[in-house]
Amino acid sequence: MITRRGFLGFTSAAALGAGLSACTGGGTSTGGGATEAASNNLRLFTYEDDSTIGLLKAQVKKFDQQNGTTTTVDSLPGSGAAVYPDKLRTELLGGKGPDVWRIWGGQIGAPFAKAKQALDLSKYYDKYGWDSKINTKAIGGMTFDGVKSGVPFISLGIGAWYNKSLFAKAGIAAPPKTYAELEAANDKLVAVGVTPCGLGGKYGWDIMRLFEYLLEHTAGPDLHDKLLTGAESWDRPEVVQAFTLFKKWQDKKWLPQGALALDPSDVEPWYVQGKTAYTITGPWTEAGAILAAKKSSSAFGNFELPTDKTPARHSGFVEGYMINARSGNADKAAALIDFILQPAAQKAMNITASTVKGAEPDPKTLPLASEWAQKYSGNPFYTIQDQAFPKKQADQYFSVQSDLLQGSVKPDAAAKKMQEIVSAWAKS
């Protein structure tokens, strides 16, 4: 199964509008170290899964053939944000970092921008017209302190993906439009012996998707955003209410029994297997869970979790590429990125959530991903919480979640603890 942590970006070939003959050579060092010597040798570091790394390499090879370059593609698959950023950081500090690397947005990508290890890409945005070719909301996810330090090629929204037959079994005629309707649907599912929401607590990030949704419901967009940046205190009624609801979901058996110990990669496909009614995930689940199980997409559906707030928002995140500020091949690296961003390339790689205009998912092959894009991709999103926080604070936050669900802390104590965690980070 392809999960958010292991989600695979796909790249493909397309005609490069401007060849490297137009490039000017070496990059500009802004990272405090010497710029590497210019050459025709590039290195791209990514976290592509083994099942698709070949696709990326094939397209990079086409780029090389057209431009006289030799690009080495290295991948560290499966580690997610727990390992990959640290490996990248170590390489950069050691002076052997890649020319181009893939990275998540939010507080995972931010340290590379703030340390000026990632190049300011403004001139390449102008050169290649990325501002007009890429979803502007996604560009915002790769912009740090006003500096465009990355180019997003994936923008993913998190919603509910459900099994139509189990909804029908419970007498749920249509996806819930309000939070009260969602709770009522959960009760109906439990009444017919179906666990509503399949989420796993192992690692913390999967079950987090439920809490962040509940916080959006209780706090609303403005306060939620301020909480994520430490601009407002977490020790407040809206947060206590969200933690109270979080515990309620477990106590009313709206989550799988023993959810905290379950691995997300095991649990998320359960809605496809008929073991749970729905899960909270992104469009990759159509290819990774539904089609991989040789099921018809028509047996499943998706909906944006109802927040009862305006504007309606869902959790989301972006992934993109950055260029090493010390690379001597910055122009060539930018050309490689632009090659990857061509609509034909994105389509050829079956990207289900491309940021590139004209590269929307094909409704014939990925009808549900296409439906999600048409219905909800225009809605704003809040930064998924494990990207909103640095890794240390995210780990502490996951501990709070776990303690709450295990009953060792009460909702008001969890809110106070979160304030301690976020306040310490905001002051650092």
Share of the chain above pLDDT 90, in %: 66
Q: What pLDDT digit, counting tens, does each position of 256-299 carry?
A: 999 999 999 899 999 999 999 999 999 989 988 999 899 999 99
| Per-residue pLDDT reduced to its tens digit, 361-390 | 889 989 999 999 889 987 888 989 988 888
pLDDT of residue 83: 80
Q: How far is CA 258 from the centre of its chain?
A: 26
Out of 128-142, 214-228, 406-420, pick the least confident.
Answer: 128-142
Confidence of residue 36 (pLDDT cuts 50, 70, 90): confident
Domain 41-156+317-368: which CATH number of 1.20.1560.10, 2.60.40.10, 3.40.190.10, 3.40.50.1970: 3.40.190.10
State residue 51's pLDDT score: 62
End-to-end CA distance of the chain: 38
Q: Where are the domains of the chain?
A: 41-156+317-368, 159-281+389-426
Give the residue among 51, 75, 52, 72 at the shortest CA–CA distance from 60: 72
Write out pLDDT tens, residues 48-79.
777 667 788 888 999 999 999 999 999 987 66
Q: Is the pLDDT of residue 426 over 90?
A: no
Q: Is the pLDDT of residue 21 over 70?
A: no
Residue 369 CB: number of other CB atoms within 10 A? 26
Report the pLDDT value the prediction gives residue 65, as an integer from 0 to 100. Answer: 95
Identity (one letter) of the amino acid at 302? N
Q: Is the pLDDT of residue 239 over 90?
A: yes
388: its two tokens: 């909103």
Backbone angles phi, psi at 354, to 5 degrees: -70, 145
Q: Is the pLDDT of residue 14 over 50?
A: no
Statement: residue 8 has pLDDT above 90: no
pLDDT of residue 349: 74
Picking from 179, 52, 32, the residue whose alpha carbon sits closest to that of residue 92 is: 32
- What are phi and psi for residue 175, nearest 5 degrees? -55, 145
Q: Is the confidence at residue 425, as pLDDT, over 80?
A: yes
pLDDT over threshold 90, residue 246: yes
Tell me how far apart the 2 most distant CA atoms of the chain are, in Å. Answer: 67
List all residues 6 or more positions away from 123 whose beta carbon is below 8 Å from its beta carbon. none
| Residues 146-167 pLDDT 10s | 999 999 998 889 999 999 999 9
**For residue 79, what pLDDT is reported?**
60
- Please report which helix (H) or strand (E) contains residue 343, including its range: helix 343-348
Instruction: Report how far Cα 8 is from the mean position of its chain's Cα atoms.
Output: 11
User: Quick one: 146 exposed, middle or buried, by C-beta within 10 A (0-12, 13-18, 19+)?
Assistant: exposed
pLDDT at res. 11: 29
Q: What is the DSSP letter of 112?
A: H
Does residue 354 sit in helix, strand or coil? Answer: strand
**Band of residue 34 on the pLDDT scale cut at 50, 70, 90:** low
pLDDT score, position 353: 83
Is residue 7 pLDDT above 60, yes or no?
A: no
Query: Can you read off the two tokens belonging to residue 118?
Result: 């990632």
Is residue 413 classed exposed, middle or buried when 0-12, 13-18 and 19+ CB atoms within 10 A define those classes?
middle
**Mean pLDDT comparison of 172-181, 339-348, 364-373, 389-398, highest-scoring range:** 172-181
In the predicted model, what is the mean pLDDT of residues 335-346?
A: 90
Interval 225-232 mean pLDDT: 91
- At how many degrees (to 10) do helices 237-251 and 391-406 cross? 60
Domain 159-281+389-426 has CATH 3.30.70.260: no
Per-residue pLDDT of 107-151, as tens digits, reads 889 899 999 999 999 999 999 999 999 988 889 889 999 999 999
Name the token pair of 371: 């439906």
Count the residues in the chain: 428
**Averaged pLDDT, 417-421:** 96
Q: Evaluate whether 41-156+317-368 and 159-281+389-426 have a shared fold.
A: yes
Query: Which of 93, 35, 69 lies closest to 328 in space, CA to CA?
Result: 35
Six token digits for residue 266: 């095991």
pLDDT for the residue numbered 2: 36
Query: pLDDT grade, residue 347 (50/70/90)?
Result: confident
